[in-house]
Amino acid sequence: MDSCDGCVEQASTQDGTNQWDAVRKLAQFEAMAGDGSGPDLSETICFFFGLALSDFELYTTLLDHQRSTSRELAETLGNDRSLINKRLLTLREADLVNRETHPLSDGGYEYRYRAQPLPETVEELNDEIEAWSEEAVTRFQQITPSTPADGSP
C-alpha cells in the first residue's frame, strides 16, 4: 500500500468537507488539459461549475435572452419546459443564473431568469483556479519533507 493511500480519507474536516478536493480537482483539470489542445471555455466552465454541456448551452442562450421565462427558453432551444427548469435550477445552484419574480397584470406572477455576465463568470473561474492552485501547493508542501537549500539532510 502506498504511504499516502489513506491521506485523502484522513483529511476530512469536522464539517465533512474534504481538504484535498482542490488538489483533486486541479489534477483532474490538468489531466483534461494535458493533451496539448487544452479545454475550451465551455469545457472549463462546465468542469469547474459541475455543469453538463447542455447546461452551458442554456447559460449561453440566456446570455442572449436575458430576463426570459422558462417557457420562452424552452421554445428558443426546442426543449421541454420541465427539462429547462431542471437546467435552470442547476445554473442557479452554481450561481450563474438569478431568478426574478415579475407580477402579471392578472394578479399572478412569473419567473424570469438572468444569466451572470460572461466576464464575471470568467473572473470567478480564474479566481477559483488560482485558489485551487494555491491550496494544492500548500497541501503538497505539508506532505513533502523539507530539504535544506544546500541539499544536505
CA dist 134 → 26, 30, 43, 109, 122 (Å): 10, 14, 22, 45, 18
Cα–chain center distance at 16: 20
Cα–chain center distance at 97: 13
Place of cell 421554445: 75
**Stronger pLDDT, 135 or 9, i.e. the higher one:** 135
- Whole-structure pTM value: 0.66
**Stronger pLDDT, 49 or 87, i.e. the higher one:** 87
**Stronger pLDDT, 112 or 15, i.e. the higher one:** 112
Question: In the numeric block, which cell numbers belong to residue 64?
Answer: 442572449
Domain-wise residue ranges, the chain: 20-137
Distance CA 76, CA 86 (A): 16
Distance CA 143, CA 4 (A): 9
Q: How confident is the model at residue 48 (pLDDT cuts 50, 70, 90)?
A: confident
**Stronger pLDDT, 65 or 41, i.e. the higher one:** 65
pLDDT higher than 80, residue 104: yes
What pLDDT, on a 0 to 100 scale, did the predictor assign at position 66? 95
Distance CA 110, CA 10 (A): 48
What pLDDT, on a 0 to 100 scale, did the predictor assign at position 136? 72
Q: How confident is the model at residue 148 (pLDDT cuts 50, 70, 90)?
A: low
- What's the length of the chain? 153
Q: Considering the domain delimited by 20-137, tell me its CATH architecture.
A: Orthogonal Bundle (1.10)
Question: In the numeric block, which cell numbers belong to residue 117?
Answer: 455576465
Write out pLDDT tens, residues 24-33: 555 555 555 5
